[in-house]
């Protein structure tokens, strides 16, 4: 132990382990008052051990007040740890070395829980097959597939998020090498928004071998070459607490992790609440505390209970509800327009399933003024929002239902199926689902989704399926539902140039005007289950 210090009568210090390949990994250890050892919480992260994910989680001193020791480690090549940072692929072996080291520490009583979100969530799940599992895990807001859960949606790269995260990691590397010029260059680009145009160049200059740049350079619409991480079944069967948010980009990854754990015999607990990636609801602290008290302080419980319920926050009435995960709202709508859905908010209609859809709709995407992404899970302003102004744009088609006669509850993954063609070899279709409450003039955005399509010029209307972010929402009598469609979602995804090549990014002079033709007679909007079926 080094750098021993005292604060609020609590003891914390830095400690180093040497891995089998002779790399020093540095951790900070906080301990409660009195004599140990104690049950121990471990977080492995790339952002600096002193921060300890306090952007969302309680400071380690709060955990020591609850009689846990806390260990926060700088992963290989980050912070004070030696080696070269290579992203997720490096973590399995270092997880095993860290757990072996931790079990021998005098602070640890042998009972270990793993916690953290995002990168720190996935580090909990990566270990060699022969590595003994911890007592419990609490991976929040993460996933296992580098394409679907970390960098792409609907065949398009996350633009704002991918660049922002990659540049953060590049700036941390510059700080590590005492390069204030590069750090300032990256930080100023992020603050003033230039990263949306200059981000690829910054990554190529300052982190050319980084994981984020590699993702952005891989085709988003092809599975080949992408990594899917597979935790061992023994780890997936351990007690697990999953925390997700309706406006978090990793929500689908968390749901797929739940499915994988269940198929391995695990029994995870899942809470999806009113949260973005970095803004959580206050009760999560108590959820984590109750979970770790149960599994690190009580006698181990090896009984197999029934599958844990899923606890969902209702986006409509702001209450909590319990589910088992395979429910699916049966409601279905058809689309209709007289051709003015982009200009007249009363023209586009969402029709009850008993009424057939009809008509066509033309959307013209002009790259000079691409339709913006607001709110939701991929935009720079993630979270709930009122999208009235966006829906009034002439490049956004809006389809609204009649006021509901009875209450309605939607649960699952919204799926839009329709026939679309375009006058260019490639196009994007971007959707938003909203609630129009009866008692106020708002368009409360609930869910968004994107789909990137490439096809030959001579193809007639092609059937597409666009999946939106999962949701759970109650509607009251008098409320209306609205589906909004556009040809862009900037800067959630890069602007499609329309030429069919894999070149996407900010608007530029090579981007083409793209005209989308929507055939509505067979269009449907319906809900798929919250959890994808095992064979899905």
As given in the structure block, the two tokens for residue 79 are: 């912070």
- The phi-psi region of residue 124 (left if phi > 0; otherwise alpha if psi is between -120 and 50; otherwise beta) is alpha
Residue pLDDT tens, the chain, 536 long? 444 454 545 578 999 999 999 999 999 999 999 888 999 999 999 999 999 999 999 999 999 999 999 999 999 999 999 999 999 999 999 999 999 999 999 999 999 999 999 999 999 999 999 999 999 999 999 999 999 999 999 999 999 999 999 999 999 999 999 999 999 999 999 999 999 999 999 999 999 999 999 999 999 999 999 999 999 999 999 999 999 999 999 999 999 999 999 999 999 999 999 999 999 999 999 999 999 999 999 887 654 555 577 899 999 999 999 876 566 678 899 999 999 999 999 999 999 999 999 999 999 999 999 999 999 999 999 999 999 999 999 999 999 999 999 999 999 999 999 999 999 999 999 999 999 999 999 999 999 999 999 875 445 568 999 999 999 999 999 999 999 999 999 999 999 999 988 789 999 999 999 999 999 999 999 999 988 765 44
Helix (H, G, I), strand (E, B) or coil at 134: coil
The secondary structure of 32-58 as a DSSP string is -SSS--EEEEEEEESS-TTTTTTTTS-
For residue 351, how many other CB atoms are within 10 A of its CB? 20
Site of tokens 């145009």: 197
Is residue 97 a contact partner of residue 123, using CB atoms and an 8 Å limit? no
Structural domains for the chain: 2-144+229-308 (3.40.50.1820), 152-217 (no CATH), 332-528 (2.60.120.260)
Residue 309: the pLDDT is 75
* Calpha distance 194→202 (Å, rounded): 10
State the pLDDT at residue 536: 40
pLDDT score recorded for residue 462: 87
Residue 216, judged by CB atoms within 10 A of its CB (0-12, 13-18, 19+), counts as: buried
The two tokens of residue 42 are 């471990």
Cα–Cα distance between 166 and 184 in angstroms, integer?
15
Task: Please state the φ and ψ torsions of residue 74, each to the nearest 5 degrees.
Answer: -75, 120
* Rounded Cα gap, residues 13 and 28, in angstroms: 6
φ/ψ of residue 462, rounded to 5 = -110, 140
pLDDT at 324 (0 to 100): 62
Secondary structure of 420-456 in HEC code, one letter for each residue = EEECCCEEEEEEEEEEECCCCCCCEEEEEEEEEEECC
How far apart CA 101 and CA 131 sit, in angstroms, is 12
Could you tell me how far CA 306 lies from the centroid of its own chain?
A: 28
Cβ-contact 39, 69 below 8 angstroms: yes
Contact predicate 75/85, CB 8 Å: yes
Question: CA geometry: angle at 341 spanning 338 and 346, to 5°?
Answer: 85
Q: Compute the distance between CA of residue 355 and CA of residue 366 in angstroms, rounded to an integer.
A: 33
Burial of 335: CB neighbours in 10 Å, binned 0-12, 13-18, 19+: buried
Global pTM reads: 0.94
pLDDT at 328: 65
Of 246, 528, 287, which Cα lies nearest the Cα of 414? Answer: 528
Helix axes 159-176, 180-192, angle to 10 degrees: 160
Length of the chain as a residue count:
536
For residue 418, the cross-strand partners are 464
**Residue tagged 């080291």 (tokens):** 101
Rounded to a whole number of angstroms, the CA Rg of the chain reads 24
Selection from 97, 19, 32, 30 nearest residue 66 by Cα: 32
User: Can you give the pLDDT at residue 301?
Assistant: 66
Residue matched to tokens 């375009």: 422
Helix H or strand E encompassing 269: strand 269-276
Choose among 86, 25, 53: nearest CA to 227. Answer: 86
């Amino acid at each position: 132990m080094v750098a021993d210090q005292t604060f609020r009568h609590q003891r914390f210090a830095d400690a180093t382990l040497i891995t089998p390949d002779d790399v020093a990994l540095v951790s900070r250890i906080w301990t409660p008052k009195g004599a140990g050892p104690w049950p121990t919480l471990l977080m492995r992260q790339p952002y600096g051990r002193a921060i300890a994910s306090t952007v969302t989680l309680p400071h380690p001193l709060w955990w020591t007040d609850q009689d846990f020791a806390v260990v926060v480690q700088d992963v290989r090549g980050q912070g004070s740890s030696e080696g070269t940072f290579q992203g997720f692929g490096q973590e399995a072996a270092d997880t095993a070395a860290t757990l072996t080291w931790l079990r021998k520490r005098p602070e640890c009583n042998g009972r270990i829980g793993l916690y953290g979100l995002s990168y720190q969530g996935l580090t909990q799940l990566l270990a060699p097959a022969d590595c003994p599992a911890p007592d419990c895990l609490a991976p929040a807001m993460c996933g296992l597939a580098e394409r679907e859960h970390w960098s792409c949606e609907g065949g398009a790269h996350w633009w704002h998020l991918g660049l922002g995260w990659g540049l953060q990691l590049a700036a941390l590397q510059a700080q590590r090498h005492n390069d204030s010029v590069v750090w300032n260059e990256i930080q100023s680009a992020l603050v003033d928004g230039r990263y949306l145009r200059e981000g690829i160049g910054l990554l190529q200059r300052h982190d050319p071998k980084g994981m984020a740049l590699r993702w952005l350079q891989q085709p988003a619409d092809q599975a080949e070459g992408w990594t899917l991480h597979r935790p061992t079944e023994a780890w997936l069967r351990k007690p697990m607490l999953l925390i997700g948010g309706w406006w978090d980009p990793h929500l689908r990854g968390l749901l797929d992790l739940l499915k994988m754990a269940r198929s391995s015999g695990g029994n995870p607990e899942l809470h999806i609440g009113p949260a973005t990636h970095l803004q959580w609801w206050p009760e999560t602290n108590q959820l984590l505390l109750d979970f770790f008290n149960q599994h690190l302080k009580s006698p181990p419980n090896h009984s197999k209970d029934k599958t844990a319920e899923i606890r969902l926050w209702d986006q409509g009435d702001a209450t909590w509800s319990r589910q088992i995960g395979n429910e699916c709202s049966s409601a279905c709508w058809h689309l209709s327009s007289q051709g003015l859905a982009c200009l007249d908010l009363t023209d586009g209609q969402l029709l009850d399933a008993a009424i057939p859809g009809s008509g066509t709709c033309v959307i013209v995407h002009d790259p000079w003024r691409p339709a913006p992404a607001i709110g939701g899970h991929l935009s720079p302003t993630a979270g709930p929002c009122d999208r009235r102004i966006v829906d009034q744009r002439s490049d956004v088609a809006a389809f609204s239902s009649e006021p509901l006669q009875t209450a309605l509850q939607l649960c699952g993954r919204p799926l839009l199926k329709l026939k679309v063609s375009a006058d260019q070899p490639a196009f994007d279709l971007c959707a938003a689902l909203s609630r129009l409450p009866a008692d106020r003039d708002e368009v409360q955005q609930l869910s968004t989704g994107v789909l990137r399509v490439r096809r030959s010029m001579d193809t007639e209307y092609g059937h597409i399926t666009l999946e939106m972010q999962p949701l759970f929402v109650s509607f009251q009598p008098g409320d209306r539902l609205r589906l909004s469609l556009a040809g862009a979602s900037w800067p959630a995804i890069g602007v499609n140039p329309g030429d069919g090549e894999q070149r996407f990014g900010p608007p530029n002079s090579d981007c083409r005007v793209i005209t989308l033709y929507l055939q509505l007679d067979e269009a449907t909007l319906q809900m798929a289950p919250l959890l994808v079926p095992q064979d899905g």
